[in-house]
Amino acid sequence: MSTSSETYPLDGVTVIDFSRLLPGPWCTQMLGDLGAVVIKVEEPKLGDASRYNPPLYQQSSVYYNSVNGNKKSITLDLRTKAGQCIAHRLMESADVVVESFRPGVSKKLGVDYSTAKALNRGIIYCSFSGFGQSGPWVNVSGHDLAVQSMSGLMTLTAEGNEVPHMPGFQAADYAAATMASIGVLSAVIRHMKTGNGAYLDIAMFDSLFSMSNVILSGAKARTAGGEGYPMMQLWGGNPRYSTYATADNKAVSVALLEAPLWERFCQIAGCEELINPDEMPDARHSTHGDRACDYKKAITDYCAARSQSEVLEELEKHGLPVVPVLSPDEALHSENVAARELVATQKHPVEGDIPVLVNPLFRAGLSKKSRTPAPSLGEDTANVLHALGFTDSEIQALKQDGALG
């Protein structure tokens, strides 16, 4: 592992990426953004299943391209002895290994942490799973929906006996990817100081649960002997912190949490009778009790009588926190995204010019602003094997034996 000062923090670091789908690939793309060389190891013929996720550009998945930039792709059949031997050569020369097999599968394929550590004492090894490598939920499906369902998160937006809504964001996937990125970076820093490796058991559940301090506040209060009520109202229970429809079938979000902001709105909307001069600071994230229906009606009526642009123009003019609810297309092409340089155009060898989301750390000089395109399946196999010392004849023999697919 290189300890010299390079352009990016992870220059000189090699990552072997056995992961698929979302948490692992997003994490390893982040490591590539930070300068690491990432070698993505894929199953022959099919490769990462996310290659087939809709929508497509012309031929390839938008999603796959969005989490696999800055990588090289090789194909290995890890069910073969020869494929495992190549994987061992890769791990032996690497700094970091990332995998997302079901618990126990990496050992069957000969690429588990024990094997990696025996080959490379200082290896940093990161295992992604839904619920961890141990515990009573170890065999529960590791899908994002399953993790969010079991974290306590989804019930907060359901009313009464209503079935909780489907989540609008893959919170568990990205929580795990973020936690793993932090963990790998921390392990790299420690390795530079001590030479020691690390094993990171990154569970999607653990990662999301550890970020749920607000969601679990009521439960924690009850555990400590309190009532746990009232809860902070961040999920639609506070009429002054919510979304409202406008006359042109669009929507706005309002955050009239503080009493002075609410007073200003009431003056603009002509409903001064709803101003509460005795409002205390603890009402900021409350339901507002008996006043809630009147508050909600006042904001609903105000927005319903105006177009989105009229609501924004009038309330923004008075310094009130109101913003449009944007569609994905509107967000992608918004003036703020352009000003912050958060989308770049990438020249793809098959798809032509495609948009990519930029790592915001580029401003600090810590990450690359542009990425190499996501690789086609196995396009780097020969080059990677040559770098490991395999000859052309040996590579041809491996192909014939089925180790490379």
How confident is the model over 95-101, as a mean pLDDT? 98
Fold of 14-211+372-401: Rossmann fold (3.40.50)
Task: Take residue 390 and report the two structure tokens written for it.
Answer: 């395999």
Sequence ranges of the chain with CATH classification 3.30.1540 = 241-245+251-324
Q: How far is residue 234's CA from residue 227's CA, in Å, rounded to a whole number?
A: 19
Which of these, 146, 125, 124, lies nearest to 137 by C-alpha position? Answer: 146
Res 405: pLDDT: 85
How confident is the model over 39-47, as a mean pLDDT? 97
CATH, domain range 241-245+251-324:
3.30.1540
pLDDT by residue (tens digit) across 257-310?
A: 999 999 999 999 999 999 999 999 988 989 999 999 999 999 999 999 999 999
Lookup result for tokens 């790998």: 184
Are 197 and 121 spatial neighbours (Cβ–Cβ below 8 Å)? yes
Are 202 and 142 spatial neighbours (Cβ–Cβ below 8 Å)? no
Residue 61 has pLDDT above 90, yes or no: yes
Sequence ranges of the chain with CATH classification 3.40.50.10540 = 14-211+372-401
Residue 207 has pLDDT above 60, yes or no: yes
Residue 123 has pLDDT above 60, yes or no: yes
Q: Quickly list DSSP for 291-357.
A: GHHHHHHHHHHHHHTS-HHHHHHHHHHTT--EEE---HHHHHT-HHHHHTT-EEEEEETTTEEEEEE
Res 230: pLDDT: 82
User: Number of helices and strands (H, E) in the chain?
Assistant: 16, 11
| Mean residue pLDDT across the chain | 95
Res 371: pLDDT: 95
How confident is the model over 47-73, as a mean pLDDT? 97
Residue 5 has pLDDT above 50, yes or no: no
Residue 158 pLDDT class (50, 70, 90 cuts): confident
In sequence order, what are the residues at sequence separation of 6 or more whose Cβ sits closer than 8 angstroms to the Cβ of residue 58?
A: 350, 351, 352
Residue 226 has pLDDT above 70, yes or no: yes
How confident is the model over 178-186, as a mean pLDDT? 98
Residue 228 pLDDT class (50, 70, 90 cuts): confident
Residue 1 has pLDDT above 60, yes or no: no
pTM of the entire predicted model? 0.94
Residue 4 pLDDT class (50, 70, 90 cuts): very low
Strands 96-99 and 14-17: parallel
How confident is the model over 328-337, as a mean pLDDT? 97
How confident is the model over 62-84, as a mean pLDDT? 97
Res 157: pLDDT: 79
In sequence order, what are the residues at sequence separation of 6 or more whose Cβ sits closer than 8 angstroms to the Cβ of residue 18?
A: 24, 41, 97, 98, 99, 100, 101, 106, 111
Are 252 and 308 spatial neighbours (Cβ–Cβ below 8 Å)? yes
Q: How far is residue 99's CA from residue 41's CA, in Å, rounded to a whole number?
A: 10
pLDDT by residue (tens digit) across 232-244?
A: 888 888 999 999 9
